[in-house]
A and B are shown apart, each in its own frame.
Chain A
């Protein structure tokens, strides 16, 4: 994956955060955070709980409005209050830690809801492409099942398929393996690995350091609302330049 780095740098960034600030009351969560993500790049956000990883992702998906700074998506300022958030969100998929599948709909209906309502896809079309995606992620026989009858790993893969069905240009993953049993984490991570192989642009908050090292093109360590340090996984994990990065890595994976 290091071979693609040069190519990545020549392309214009798909996502660029410029001194983004966000606070909740007195709690400053993001404090002038900068981050750039190129097309086809997989960026892993690591950092302690409360460091601002989730808030960052939510700001990109416009689930939160930033208090200052700019979020550029494909050279468009999407943090401007004048933009149509729904239109932007169609281009940006998001998967949550708690799956957030709609419990009253079957897996298939969960997946086809947005394409049918927003892309104007026909029932047959959207179901055919949903079925295709389900097959690829090993859920072919679960189309008619309801979310509550699936395992956590199956639910999370279904949530991933739901986000992919809108054919997003950017995928945001918010600690999507954190609620899973350890033996189910692998199947979800494999799915992400496959997406990367297809060239999907992904920003993911994660506690899976091994995965970040293997699959991430770049790792960004978020600390107190800023990107304290970023770079290639091997650099960050093996020779971090910031003491706070080293301390964090030691805490999560003492060797």
Chain B
């Protein structure tokens, strides 16, 4: 295209300069309004909170600096377990979720009984409260006293979370695979790729890109639900906070733990935003 080589060799007309000036003025106006309204709202909120009658007690109970400092090492130790637990669980959940999703979309008639199991599994996993699953697996399995059943509460906790979240992730994956247009299957198969190859190289990459936001949503939820395994005695962040809190009858350790959980999920949220942006840029980057 010859037009790409031309330099920007024109000087804007007076009319255009006037338009640009107006646009700059408008953006200045908007920024000012945003700034002023933010300062006013937050300022009023701060004044109201700090000057309200019970503020001293709130500060003493929830935002006690000394308590925060003394409980931090134990809570951080707890978070090591929390992080280890959800990282392992996420991998297991992805494997379970993908397998179940594959089974559910597969056309092979021989898979009918497996499909039925997969359907029942997703219904049960999604329909049962996670805390209940944690109790059933964490206390129930060891109570059977069968050989080969793990006794580590950590492993049992990961198993419970995998069971529960595998159902959600399987459905997200299935929705993603089915959202890819049938023509993609057709063009993959037309090249001679097998069903599995088409799924692996053509359909799944597109599906995962689409379901990334809900998938990350589930994982953010999982990170918080690791706290549920404290109930079977795993020493993780929430359990650590409980112990620290009980020592002094102060709730600051819970606030510290809450901040820790938030700090863990925020990077993941930004990471997904970035991934989504990159996908859009890659797919639309070529067209001007």
Contacts and interface: CB of A to CB of B under 8 A. Distances in A.
A81 B23 contact: yes
Interface of A: 19, 21, 23-29, 31-32, 50-52, 67-70, 80-82, 224-225
A80 B19 contact: yes
A74 B61 CA distance: 69
A26 B7 CA distance: 7
B25 to A, nearest CB: 11
B3 A27 contact: yes
Nearest to B4: A27
Given A27-B288, A52-B3, A68-B12, 13 more contacts: A26-B4, A27-B3, A27-B4, A28-B8, A29-B3, A31-B10, A32-B10, A67-B12, A67-B16, A68-B13, A81-B22, A82-B22, A225-B3
Nearest to A55: B288
Given A19-B13, A68-B16, A28 B22 contact: no
B278 to A, nearest CB: 19
B146 interface: no
Contacts of B10: 21, 31-32, 68
Nearest to A77: B15
Given A21-B10, A23-B8, A81 B16 contact: no
Contacts, number: 45
Contacts of A28: 3, 6, 8
Nearest to A66: B16
B189 to A, nearest CB: 21
Contact of B3 (A19, A67, A69, A224): A224
Contacts of B288: 24-25, 27, 29
Contacts of A19: 13
B243 to A, nearest CB: 53
B41 interface: no
Closest A-B pairs by Cβ, 5 of them: A68-B16, A24-B288, A50-B1, A28-B6, A27-B4
B23 A224 contact: no
30 contacts: A19-B13, A21-B10, A24-B288, A25-B288, A26-B4, A26-B8, A27-B1, A27-B3, A27-B4, A27-B288, A28-B3, A28-B6, A31-B6, A67-B12, A67-B16, A68-B10, A68-B12, A68-B15, A68-B16, A69-B13, A69-B16, A80-B19, A81-B19, A81-B22, A81-B23, A82-B22, A224-B2, A224-B3, A224-B6, A225-B3
Contacts of B16: 67-69
B271 to A, nearest CB: 28
A81 B26 CA distance: 10
Contacts of A224: 2-3, 6
A91 to B, nearest CB: 21
A24 to B, nearest CB: 5
Nearest to A82: B22
Between B7, B8, B12, B22, the greatest number of chain A beta carbons within 10 A of the residue's beta carbon is seen for B8
A68 B16 CA distance: 5
Nearest to A68: B16
Interface in B49-69: none
A224 B13 CA distance: 20
Interface string B179-199: 000000000000000000000
A21 B13 CA distance: 11
Contacts of B8: 23, 26, 28
B18 to A, nearest CB: 9
B178 to A, nearest CB: 15
B115 to A, nearest CB: 27
A70 B15 contact: yes
